[in-house]
Amino acid sequence: MLNILIENPFFFVFLGGIIFLALWNVLLQIQHWLIRKKLKTFFNGKKASDLEGVLFEEIKRLKKAEEGIKGLSKNLKSVEKMAERSIQKASVVRFNPFKETGGDQSFVIALLDSRDNGLVITSLFTRQGNRVYSKPIKEGKSTYPLSKEETEALKKAGMEK
């Protein structure tokens, strides 16, 4: 009986068709499993009949995220404004204004924001004591005369003018 089947040309066609259908079935099962996995992730434990609810929930989450981004953007702008007015440039110049005292114990500190506004603080050390002076700086200039050390401190602070 087996010889009759093997000699018949339709036997191999039939056998090939069965093998093809078996492989096709395996492929479809894998695709079905992958789709179910994706749907399970998408619905996150909810019923598949509630697709509209899932979409509305995702839209709510998206709107909430957009509002959060707008809030962060607003906060960023206020931080940028604050940073412009904060001290961004600083330098120290030590010097000896009087030859009779030893060491560079006097100093000038320059503190400026991004627009070159701020102040210079000068400390003059003498044998009798210490004196501290402050001069305002607006756009890189002072209404008071600046010493060469104060001008040097402003330049070292990276003032653009």
Strand 118-125 with 106-112, pairing: antiparallel
Give residue 5's pLDDT: 65
3-state secondary structure of 41: helix
Q: What is the Cβ-side half-sphere exposure of residue 152, based on CA atoms within 13 angstroms?
A: 10
In a domain, 6, yes or no: no
Where is average pLDDT lowest: 10-14, 81-85, 91-95?
Answer: 10-14
Asked if 80 and 96 sit in the same domain, the reply is no
- Over the stretch 39-80, which tens digit does the pLDDT of each residue have? 777 777 666 567 777 788 889 999 999 999 999 999 999 999
In a domain, 93, yes or no: yes
Asked if 133 and 113 sit in the same domain, the reply is yes
pLDDT at 3 over 80: no
In a domain, 11, yes or no: no
> Of 68, 85, 102, at which residue does a domain stop?
85
Asked if 72 and 97 sit in the same domain, the reply is no
In a domain, 43, yes or no: no
Give residue 73's pLDDT: 93
